[in-house]
């Protein structure tokens, strides 16, 4: 069940963050969802009291520096905020305020500073999961498995001892020659 309510940011007369003014005349659409889909709902999510509660938990620095979340955090360092009976990450709540609407589940609040505790609106951008992963790899933060230097039995992979299959997997020539049990069984002649 979805209902829509529309007004403008100038009618609200509230800044997104201290020193970050709301965009005047931009329409605001608030959707009210049921409790099962996990999306924020209703007017209380964007109320002045909720916004003040949020910014009271932020150490605000210069506009170009990270604004660190001082409230609860998950083990990976992202801030957690409870607003309108909804628990969400602090940087995602800032993105809700910046966009002046509820974000879809497939919309991510991505950091340009790579600091998970940062909630500075200037350091956040709206993206998709794919864009977030591409950004992660471009910055060298993705999981990249290093190429092994030795095989399971301890033989060094070098230019003479390495074999690559068509999938790009590496194997050891010496282990292949020795066979699955360590030493290739020699045929004994029975005379």
Give the dihedral sign, CA 154/159/163/164.
positive
Model confidence pLDDT, tens digit, residues 144-161: 666 778 888 888 888 888
Looking at residue 182, its pLDDT comes to 56
Please give the Cα distance from 82 to 17 (Å, whole number): 18
**Which phi and psi angles does 125 have, rounded to 5°?**
-140, 150
The stretch 90-119 carries a mean pLDDT of 88
Helix axes 90-99, 48-55, angle to 10 degrees: 130
Whether residue 25 is found in the same domain as residue 109? yes
Whether residue 114 is found in the same domain as residue 168? no
C-beta separation of 12 from 22 below 8 A: yes
Whether residue 37 is found in the same domain as residue 118? yes
Whether residue 58 is found in the same domain as residue 79? yes
Whether residue 11 is found in the same domain as residue 81? yes
Whether residue 51 is found in the same domain as residue 80? yes
Domain that holds residue 151: 145-191
First to last CA, the chain: 88
Maximum average pLDDT range among 21-25, 117-121, 182-186: 117-121
Whether residue 80 is found in the same domain as residue 163? no
Looking at residue 189, its pLDDT comes to 43
Give residue 137's pLDDT band: very low, low, confident or very high (50, 70, 90). confident
């Amino acid at each position: 069940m979805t209902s829509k309510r529309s007004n403008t940011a100038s009618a609200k007369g509230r800044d997104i963050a201290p020193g970050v003014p709301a965009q005047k005349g931009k329409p605001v659409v608030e959707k009210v969802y049921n409790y099962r889909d996990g999306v924020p709902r209703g007017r209380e999510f964007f109320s002045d009291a909720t916004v003040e509660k949020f910014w009271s938990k932020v150490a605000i620095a210069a506009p170009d520096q990270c604004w660190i979340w001082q409230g609860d955090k998950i083990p990976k360092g992202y801030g957690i905020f409870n607003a309108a009976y909804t628990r969400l990450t602090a940087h995602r709540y800032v993105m809700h305020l910046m966009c002046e609407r509820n974000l879809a589940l497939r919309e991510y609040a991505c950091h340009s500073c790579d600091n998970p505790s940062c909630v500075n609106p200037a350091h956040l951008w709206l993206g998709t999961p794919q864009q977030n992963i591409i950004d992660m790899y471009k910055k060298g933060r993705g999981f990249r498995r290093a190429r092994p230097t030795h095989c399971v039995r301890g033989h060094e992979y070098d230019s003479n001892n390495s074999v690559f299959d068509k999938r790009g997997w590496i194997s050891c020539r010496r282990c292949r020659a020795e066979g699955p049990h360590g030493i290739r069984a020699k045929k004994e002649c029975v005379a």
